[in-house]
Amino acid sequence: MSIHARSEDANFFYYVMDFYPMTLRNVINDETNADVLLDYARQLCDALAYVHGDGIVHRDIKPENVLVDPDARRLVLADFGIAHFKDSSLTNRGDLLVNRNYLAPEQMVRNNALDIGKPADIFALGLVITEMFTKQNARGRRHALVRDRYPFLADLDPIIEQMLLQDEAQRFRIDTVRGMLRVTLQRLDSTIEEISDDLRPNEASADSSSGEVEWILGRAARDVLSAKHVFERVADGELDRFNLNYHCEVAYRVSTELFNTCAQAVVYASCKAKFDYEAAGRWDENDDALVLSAAKPGLQRELETILADFPLPQSSRWNGLPRRSAHLFRFCKDYHCEELLTSIRESVYGEGNGSLRANLISAPILWITGWMRAYLDTDYLEFDKTVREDIGFERHLSVLWDKTLPLDSAREAVGVDLLTEPLNADRVASTLQALEAKWDVSVGELVDGEYSVMFRSRNTYRCFHDEALDLAEPGSVFEADVLNLLRPEAEFDDLVALTWDRDFDVAVTLGKILGTPTR
């Protein structure tokens, strides 16, 4: 920050500096452009490196102390009112430092102000960077990570994880953070450029300007990286959180190899399910006759013709699927084989809802991702993270340019959010707003349908505790629910932390306590 003029009188120093109209707190919830947020993170790291290089510990890093010029997209670290300067003894041991939402663990210890060093700034910076991307304060267990909102930035999370270690001696120094961030961003830019080149059409669509093509490529490259993360790393139980129509204005298709692999997996899964169904039932000579009927050779040839239409490379992990499918089919009853053939044809050749073509060709990126996971997850092999990474997901996708409609506002509205909105989202939001309006608490959403709730004083928690129990009849089911809600997860210094489930603790129990709608 430039100082344009200075003066002093008997009581004050005066400075004329650049004007920054906002703080990071003013813009943190509205700024969603990943490139802008990454640049803000880089600027913050540069600022803290400069400060630490001069032997200064800021000790109060928070969004309110980061000044922002939103037009120039420039920010500066400010408010060194409780900073510790080299060789300074102005701080008293018992000084209360920093906004509690950004406290490092060592800052929660009473009478420890003189021992707060640079690692505390690293911890706070990690919280601020996470909040820029997730829009949530990253306190408590299972807080939202960068990859939960920007999957293509998943490589930022290991860096931030090291910044947020409980043991201050194990946290990265700022020069390490800054260096790793630069390397990560360089690698990201290189990967995005490679994917963009692979997705670039040989000839631009007649309906698309060069500017539109570049915009689509920029979005598509990041979306492919995001989908790669979801495909490879997201647990099965978390897939339902994602909006399968995300960025649906851009249409994609899978490669022939991957389409064929999914087709073979569908055939195998169908044959295996029918075989297992028959094996679990009663069996007699009439059933043997149905397996060995005169119609079976013709039915077998029909299946093998279908299998031949979807060849797999010799090197494919799934290369044995056609043989396994044919073997299972051979031992099914003839009328079940006829049913199988009808179902399989609809799946692999059809174009209606539920068909492979509808789900893997001319579809949104996460729609394809979700269905690929579903198709390939059979008992033929263990479909674990290693197998998914080996597929090389990003190499098997291309933009379907004639089906891509970048200016389709209806599609854009449907696909704007990466994550689906919970069914009770409005009710939960109004209940939590009522809690924050009445009580001195901070609330952070976790990644698994829970909320971290922190009462900023034990006295506030005790008042809430007593008021909630007064509303419950002794011995009632509601009293048991309230007692479960009131159970602290952690207590430190003057803070009390709890973790509440969204669908019951917040939507039902807390709603009853606060008198907000519970249905």
* 139-149 pLDDT tens trace: 766 688 999 99
CA torsion sign for 458, 463, 464, 468 is positive
DSSP 217-232: HHHHHHHHHHHHHHHH
Q: What is the mean pLDDT of the chain?
A: 89
Could you tell me the residue ranges of all domains in the chain?
A: 18-184, 252-414, 425-514
* 133-188 pLDDT tens trace: 999 888 766 688 999 999 999 999 999 999 999 999 999 999 999 999 999 999 99
The percent helix, strand, coil of the chain (3-state, each to 5) is: 55, 10, 35
pLDDT given at position 140: 65
Which of these CATH numbers, 3.40.50.450, 1.10.510.10, 2.60.40.1930, 2.60.40.1170, describes 18-184? 1.10.510.10
Angle between helices 458-470 and 477-485 (to 10 degrees): 170
* 214-243 pLDDT tens trace: 999 999 999 999 999 999 999 888 888 899
pLDDT at 263 over 90: yes
Residue 175 CA from chain centroid, whole number:
27
Strands, E assignment, 346-449: 361-363, 397-399, 441-445
| Tokens representing residue 23 in the block | 């703080």
pLDDT at 311 over 90: yes
Helix ranges, 234-295 (H): 256-279, 285-291
pLDDT at 314 over 60: yes
Quick one: how many helices (H) and strands (E) in the chain?
20, 12
C-alpha torsion 503→508→513→518, nearest 10? 120
